[in-house]
Amino acid sequence: MGFIQDVLTSFVAIMPVTLAQSLILAFVVLGIMIPFRMLNFPDLTSEGAFPLGGCVCGVLLAAGVSPLTCIVVAFAAGFAAGCCTAFIHLRFRIHTLLAGILMMTMLYSINLRIMGKSNLSVFGSPTVFDWVPFARPGFPASKIVVAGLLALIVFAALYMFFRTEKGTAVRAVGANPDMAEAQGINVWAATIGGVGLASAFSASSGALMVQSQGFADVNMGLGILINGLAALMIGEAVVGKQTVWRQLLAPFAGAIIYYQLVSFCLAAGMPPPDLKLATGLFVLAMLALPSLKRGRGSAPAREAIRE
């Protein structure tokens, strides 16, 4: 009994910290979901866009720029990175995954160039979390308020956008690019804009993370993609993905649940080095589930993705 009590006590104790972290990282999950589900464009750029946003934010914070401006610039930098990935795919007909790998590899050097060194402490710099009244800066409550508010705004804005005429057109590009083109939709513009926006969210998440943790590191994106995918899978399993509302809610719900789950596993004594293996196996299981359900008899129906 004592063991279980210890586990629960330490799990509950770090719950607010985990919640704050998961709300910040929800934007990466969103940045993975938009290309993957809305545009049918599996994209790996976020692994490079997340640290890109962090590095840009770190350098600007160190230079004394206002924390909000830092996030805006990080957003723009991420947008540019995502546009590049989409352009590489469209112009040179390179597979989306390979285009993403190319981009995130190149971004590593760019991130190092931006910072000039591999990590940078910005501890003590002003952050957007300081602006919350009635909450002591640096405590999870203020982070939860800021990140939660941002998540709410972004969710509402995206939900409204995907119901507009333009938003429906963007979804059509993901559903059937040939048909979209034949209906007068500019597939290039929609793909570049959509993937760009997704990477912009990933980069903003990196910027928020740097302000939250007080330092920037070129390696901060390591494994962010697999964590994000796992969170997305959980979110889709819990809230579903049949409608735009559910599909948009999935990354946020998934991020919150996933990071609590991870923190519970760690509290229960799982060695941190095993975490990635566990996450990978979990994502594999979630992706394999449909084909396992179908059984061995029928032909393997592969998910149609853009090549």
Partner 1 sequence: MLDIRSARKVFYKGQADEKVALDGLSLSLATGDFGIVIGSNGAGKSSMLNAISGALVLDSGKILINGADVTAMPVHKRATRLARVFQDPMRGTAASMTVAENMLLADLRSRKRTLRQGLNAARLASYKERLSILGLGLENRLDTRVDLLSGGQRQSLSLIMAVGGSPALLLLDEHTAALDPRTAEIVMQATVRAVNALKLTTLMVTHNMQHAVDYGSRVIMLDAGRVLLEVTGEEKARVTVIDLIGHFSIKTDRMLLAS
Calculate the dihedral angle through the C-alpha atoms of 102, 103, 106, 109, rounding to the nearest 10 degrees. Answer: -140
Extended beta strands in 221-269, E state: none
Among positions 259-288, residues that touch partner 1 (CB under 8 A) are none
d(CA 56, CA 206): 9
Residue 186 interacts with partner 1 (CB under 8 A)? yes
- Minimum CB distance to partner 1 smaller for 139 or for 161: 161
Strand partners, 119: 217
Residue 187 interacts with partner 1 (CB under 8 A)? yes
Q: Which stretch binds partner 1 (CB under 8 A): 55-63, 120-128, 183-191, 202-210?
A: 183-191
Residue 303 interacts with partner 1 (CB under 8 A)? no
CA proximity to 238, closest of 251, 221, 227, 220: 251
* DSSP state at residue 110: H
Residue 105 interacts with partner 1 (CB under 8 A)? no
- The correct pick among 109, 168, 274, 289 for binding partner 1 (CB under 8 A) is 168
Q: Quote the distance between the C-alpha of residue 241 and its chain's center.
A: 17
Residue 139 interacts with partner 1 (CB under 8 A)? no
Q: Which stretch binds partner 1 (CB under 8 A): 124-132, 170-178, 202-210, 281-289?
A: 170-178
Smallest separation, CB 159 to partner 1 (Å): 12
d(CA 236, CA 279): 16
Smallest separation, CB 155 to partner 1 (Å): 17
Within 8 A by CB and 6+ apart from 148, the residues are 23
Residues contributing to the site for partner 1 (CB under 8 A):
161, 163-169, 171-172, 174-176, 178-187
